Structure 1
Amino acid sequence: MSERRYFVYIMMTSNSLNTMYIGVTNDIGRRVFEHRNRKGSEFAAKYRVTRLVYVEEFENPTEAIAREKQLKGWKRIRKNQLVRAANPTWADLAPESS
């Protein structure tokens, strides 16, 4: 029996760091592909949120959803600090083929 994994992730616009999207998924590769192809989220499609800059992994979906809600409740400066601590250059963490 395979273990399910759940991911809380932060995506940013490709041209700047102005727009941030926080989500939860059980397939991070598929979800990045959807964002890059403007599928699955009207917000992400409208603002062209295509760069994966932060990911946390969970075994329990309830914990992942709780973390997503927690991050969404944070002020922008705190979200920026979280990303910067894990990804100082704000590099895209997903390969282009995602």
Structure 2
Amino acid sequence: MAQTKAFNGQRDGEELLFVFRRHIIAMRKGFYMLLVPLAVGAIPPLIWQDTLELFLLPVVGLGLGLIGFCYHFLMWRYTYYIVTDQRIRQVTQKGFFGTDVVE
């Protein structure tokens, strides 16, 4: 009877033990990309408080930061490690459409 494959590239007789990904702290560059535009955008309204248009800068900074954060989050989310009884495979997301597999 043929066994079903748990992942692409699984060898015959290879048993999947578990799958894991890096800790969320490994994605610290994404957190910095969220924090820095927001903090830099918040400085001008603190200095010139009489100009109401400047209060939109933190919102713009938050929007830009969220875009950068979402990119890094997706790269973290779709990078994982597969541990079998024969080997360890690292599947790394490269951009939005590419993956790199290291055995």
- Bigger relative CO (Cα 8 Å, ≥ 6 apart): 1
Higher CA-based Rg: 2
Q: TM-score range by the shorter chain?
A: under 0.3
TM-score by length of 1: 0.24
TM-score by length of 2: 0.24
